Amino acid sequence: MDLGLKGKGVIVTGASRGIGRAMADCFAREGANVSICARGAEALETARQDLARHGTSIHAAPCDVSDPDALARYIAQAHEALGAIQVLVNNPTGAGDSESDEGWRRNFDVDLMGVVRVSRLVTPMMIAAGGGCIINISSVSGEMPSTRSPGYAAIKAAVIHYTTSQAKSLAPHNIRVNGIAPGSTFFDGGFWDVMKAENRDIYDATVASVPFGRLGTVDEIADAAVYLASERARWITGQTLTVDGGQSLR
């Protein structure tokens, strides 16, 4: 199925590993030119080299999306490297899971304001390109109460609401805005990999909460992102797609 993404300029933030890297890989595999950023330069370079195997243009630069000046420099570089930006995937997370002021602040600065700032910078570029698509990565935590990480859940809920506001305001500019709310997703070195090793009771209980009896994979989230960015989803906007194998049906 031709998704119409060949030659498109795509930015994926927070893409050195996990879901972000899988999404960047999926876009590159579809023929898109991709720019990625993350805080860790070494992991980012490894990701860039791996993505290059698809034969499209790959740009990568370290950036902390909570730093407005660094973010502005990165977006300018990405725009120059890609020529035009038609797709933006906002995928940063500060993983601030504590209830301290610092934990809340990290979630706010990265998970919410990272989305706001990047979108603010990229939107004029999309308008100049004739339109585009923004995808905001939230979480099923933003759709239900959370006793383990209420700050993270509250900020992800804000991302879901902001997605609807963006969608309504940007539709006249031919820009669609949607979200993805992943459920518990496993990848090597990720949160659930650590929990499997260090807190097996919580890990097993989480697996048991999914009707299919397993956690999600990063490729399953990436496939949803590529679909939402494609021409096949051209009449979908303002929606947050829950991709969790039915975990939130409990």
Catalytic positions: 152
Report angle CA 209, 237, 139 to the nearest 5 degrees.
25
Determine the Cα–Cα distance for residues 241 and 228; give it in Å rounded to an integer. 9
Q: How far is CA 179 from CA 115, 161, 241, in A?
A: 11, 10, 6
SS3 of residue 67 by DSSP? coil
Determine the Cα–Cα distance for residues 195 and 121; give it in Å rounded to an integer. 36
Could you please report the per-residue DSSP string of 101-115? Answer: HHHHHHIIIIIIHHH
- Phi/psi region, residue 239 (left: phi>0; alpha: psi -120 to 50; beta: rest), is beta
Determine the Cα–Cα distance for residues 108 and 223; give it in Å rounded to an integer. 27
Determine the Cα–Cα distance for residues 118 and 152; give it in Å rounded to an integer. 19
**DSSP 8-state code for residue 16:** S
